[in-house]
Amino acid sequence: MADHYEVLGVERSATPEEIKKAYRRLARELHPDVNPSEEAAERFKSVTHAYDVLSDPEQRERYDLGGSGGFGGGNFGFGDIFDSFFGAAGGRSNGPRSRTERGQDALLRIEIDLDDVIFGSKRELEIDTAVLCEACKGSCCAPGTSITTCDICRGSGEIQRTVRSLLGNVMTSSPCGTCRGYGTIIPNPCPTCAGQGRVRAKRKIAVDVPAGVDTGMRLHLPGEGEAGPAGGPNGDLYLEVKVRHDDIFSRSGDDLLATLEVQMTDAVLGASVTLTALDGEVSIEIKPGTQSADIVTVKERGVTRLRGGGRGDLKVGIHVQTPVRLNSSELDLIKQFASKRPPAKPQFSKFQQGLFAKLRDRFLG
The binding site for Zn(2+) comprises: 133, 136, 150, 153, 176, 179, 190, 193
Q: What number of CA atoms fall less than 13 Å from residue 267's CA on the CB side? A: 18
Length of the chain: 365
What DSSP designation does 72 have? T
Residue 20 near residue 57, CB atoms below 8 Å: no
> Residue 250 forms beta bridges with which residues?
257
d(CA 65, CA 62): 5
Where would I find the beta strands (DSSP E) of the chain? 106-112, 121-132, 148-149, 158-165, 168-175, 184-185, 198-209, 218-221, 237-243, 250-252, 255-263, 271-277, 280-286, 295-298, 314-321
Q: State how far Cα 134 lies from the chain centre.
A: 28
Backbone angles phi, psi at 195, to 5 degrees: 80, 15
Residue 212, number of CB atoms within 10 A of its CB: 20
Instruction: Name residue 175's beta-bridge partners.
Output: 158
User: How are the residues of the chain apportioned to helix, strand and coil, as percentages rounded to the nearest 5?
Assistant: 25, 30, 45
Phi, psi angles (nearest 5°) of residue 171: -85, 125
Report the binding-site residues.
133, 136, 150, 153, 176, 179, 190, 193
The pair phi, psi for residue 336, each rounded to 5°, is -65, -40
Q: Residue 271: phi, psi to the nearest 5?
A: -165, 165
Q: DSSP for 298-324, please give it.
A: ETT-SPBPSSSS-B--EEEEEEEEPP-
